[in-house]
Amino acid sequence: MVLGTRELALHIDHTLLKPAATVQDLDLLCAQAVKYGFYGVCVNPSLVSLASWKLKDESPVPVSVVGFPLGATLPEVKAFETAAVVGNGAQEVDMVMNLGAFKAGDDNLVLKDIRAVVEAADGAPVKVILETALLSDEEIVRACRLSVDGGAKFVKTSTGFGPGGATVEAVRLMRETVGPDIGVKASGGIGTYDQAIDMLRAGANRIGASASVTIVTGE
């Protein structure tokens, strides 16, 4: 698989999720997203309103995160946060799954959590972040199935704050589990063109990266 800069950029959410991200950082992120034609920009909730305003006449889509990065907040809190970021212009929502409930086998709570976000998103596509580095293959399959049952439109590998990022093996397993109609977002540790292509080849159709400019330019 060989993709040109613009074609590859259309698969990338240009990401700024560091805790100390400033308005100036956001200015640069949005300018780069427009310049290189990235699919979206993914930012923390406090910056999504400004990102939406800056991109209002541009093609990149504002994306925000919910329950980030731990996923351990209450379903009603995640729902409130989701409604807030969508109200402030987020067109997609990346939520972190409740990993503690999942590991404990409380699938009902995991489903409640996902469904609360999906309902609050009011039609905006929801991606469920699984944090695959903490999961076995069997758990990845189970998490993917719960995400689909909960109404999510994507499953996503990682927050970038966990013990590991996206792997080809995890992406391939996620794609095999969810089939062709659900998105797979590879995120975490992707910093080169070759890594991005490997993820797309394995079945991802979206890449989340802070090194997006390096990925598409090699610089």
Q: Could you read off the pLDDT of 5-23 as tens digits, one per residue?
A: 899 999 999 999 999 999 9
Total domains present in the chain: 1
Residues whose CB is less than 8 angstroms from the CB of residue 62 and which lie 6 or more positions away in sequence, other chains included:
40, 41, 43, 48, 51, 52, 55, 89, 90, 91, 92
- Which of 54, 112, 127, 156 does the annotation list as catalytic? 156
- Is the pLDDT at 106 greater than 90? The verdict is yes
Whole-number pLDDT of residue 219? 80
Whole-number pLDDT of residue 3? 85
The string of pLDDT tens digits covering residues 49-60 is 999 999 999 999
For residue 43, what are its two tokens?
């930012």
Bridge partners, residue 15, by sequence: 42
- Is the pLDDT at 145 greater than 90? The verdict is yes
Indicate if 185 belongs to the active site: yes
- Is the pLDDT at 129 greater than 90? The verdict is yes
Whole-number pLDDT of residue 158? 98
- Which of 54, 78, 112, 185 does the annotation list as catalytic? 185
Indicate if 156 belongs to the active site: yes
Whole-number pLDDT of residue 2? 75
User: Is 95:119 a contact under the CB 8 Å cutoff?
Assistant: no
Indicate if 94 belongs to the active site: yes
**Which CATH number fits the domain that encloses residue 172?**
3.20.20.70
- Which of 94, 112, 113, 198 does the annotation list as catalytic? 94
- Is the pLDDT at 186 greater than 80? The verdict is yes
User: Which residue segment(s) compose the domain that 199 sits in?
Assistant: 5-217
